Amino acid sequence: MSVEVVRLLLRAGASETEVEEALGRAVSSGQSLARALGDAEPELQNRLERELLRVEVPSIEMVRPELEQLALLPPGLADRLGAVPVRKDVRSGRVDIAAVDPLDAHLASELEFHLGAKVRVLRADPEAVKAALAGSTTPRVPSGPPLPLVRRAVMGDVRPATPVPADGDASATALTQSEPPPSGDEPVLSLSRARPAQTAAVPGPSLPLELARATFEQTRTPDAVVTALIEGLAPARTLILAVRSSSYVGRAGSAAFERDAVRQIEILNSSPSVLQTATRAGFYLGALPHTPAHAPLRSLFGETDDEVYVASVSASGHATLVIVCDPAALGGSFDATRRIDVLAGAAGQALERILMSRKRGG
């Protein structure tokens, strides 16, 4: 149980009596204090949330359980802790956890023991965690093939992606990794016994993943790395932004986007956005919010609530690029998000290599 939660509640104006009673209920129910507040003390939970917003911890907005990781936990543990595995990094093996109480050190050690992997705890809205747990199952065996990503799209409109050239800006500044989209290959069920179930045709990537990843080994400039990213994610609509000291700046985009429109994008990093979430938490998966900060992105991707996957590309430990991608054109969502993560990692390695070569005078 996090002592920090008690401190935050007291700092938020809760009385010692209120905190003691909440602690008692948490102990008797076997839940974490933060999780127990959500069931019995909504007012205290609201105070806690306001205090957590002031704490510098990475957060996540969209909470979607990673079912295979969830299945490794003892029954009921995720609910008691108020924590949900949401993503496993394909390279490092680290598991991201969405939690009501991100300050509980016991939570991390407990989950690392059961998952057999390092974890990163991200703060999440209690209602989002609760809904994720209520809507998920905890199978004791792998959950099987991923469910398909469903999109309302006219497939004939998908055009092969060609990179928009990036002028100048030859220096390799920090690139941000993007967040992978949710997984899934859900069969479409027919309501009529007389007609077989049908699934809509979903386009796939233009290049095999290994070939796309190998392309980065031949890159010699940051611009070439950006080009390789866009080509590797074709035919998906993809936007690449550079991370600057005070803003995210449009750098290149696929053929679906006008070059001038891409280059005019500038989103302040002081404004809450999916770009900020991706650079802090590693990825964002969900619809683009209807806020002023996202207006430039929605003007490109359209005024819909279809999900996008936002991932950061990191070089030498710093986020340097952010990828915003519509994963619908890359097939099933599990494969799409994995592909974006893999290519974001390859781009980061290529940028590090280029940086080191320049430092040596190569």
Whether 22 has a pLDDT exceeding 80, the answer reads no
Q: pLDDT value at position 294? A: 93
**Cα–Cα distance measured from residue 10 to residue 14, given in angstroms and rounded to the nearest whole number:** 5
Name the more confident of 199 and 90: 90
**Cα–Cα distance measured from residue 34 to residue 50, given in angstroms and rounded to the nearest whole number:** 13
Whether 202 has a pLDDT exceeding 60, the answer reads no
Whether 12 has a pLDDT exceeding 80, the answer reads no
Q: pLDDT value at position 157? A: 38
Q: pLDDT value at position 145? A: 33
Q: pLDDT value at position 7? A: 64
**Cα–Cα distance measured from residue 21 to residue 31, given in angstroms and rounded to the nearest whole number:** 14
**Cα–Cα distance measured from residue 322 to residue 318, given in angstroms and rounded to the nearest whole number:** 12
Peptide bond into 203 cis (omega under 30): no
Q: pLDDT value at position 187? A: 33
pLDDT level of residue 36 (50, 70, 90 thresholds): low
Question: Which range (161-165, 223-227, 328-332, 338-342) has the least confidence?
Answer: 161-165
**Cα–Cα distance measured from residue 90 to residue 142, given in angstroms and rounded to the nearest whole number:** 17
Record the pTM: 0.52
Whether 18 has a pLDDT exceeding 60, the answer reads yes
pLDDT in tens, 232-286: 999 999 999 999 999 999 999 999 899 999 999 999 988 899 999 888 888 888 8
Whether 189 has a pLDDT exceeding 50, the answer reads no
Whether 320 has a pLDDT exceeding 80, the answer reads yes
Whether 57 has a pLDDT exceeding 90, the answer reads no
pLDDT level of residue 82 (50, 70, 90 thresholds): confident
pLDDT in tens, 106-124: 788 888 888 988 898 888 8
**Cα–Cα distance measured from residue 235 to residue 330, given in angstroms and rounded to the nearest whole number:** 7
pLDDT in tens, 127-162: 888 888 886 543 333 333 333 333 333 333 333 344
Q: What is the mean pLDDT of residues 288-298?
A: 92
- Chain mean pLDDT for the chain: 75
pLDDT level of residue 77 (50, 70, 90 thresholds): confident
pLDDT in tens, 161-179: 444 444 444 333 333 333 4
Return the exposure string of 24-33: e unless at least 16 CB atoms fall within 10 Å of the residue's CB, then b. ebbeeeebbb
Domain architecture of the chain: domains with CATH: 3-52 (no CATH), 67-134 (3.30.300), 158-188+204-359 (3.30.450.40)
Q: pLDDT value at position 268? A: 94
% the chain with pLDDT above 90: 29
Q: What is the DSSP letter of 50?
A: H
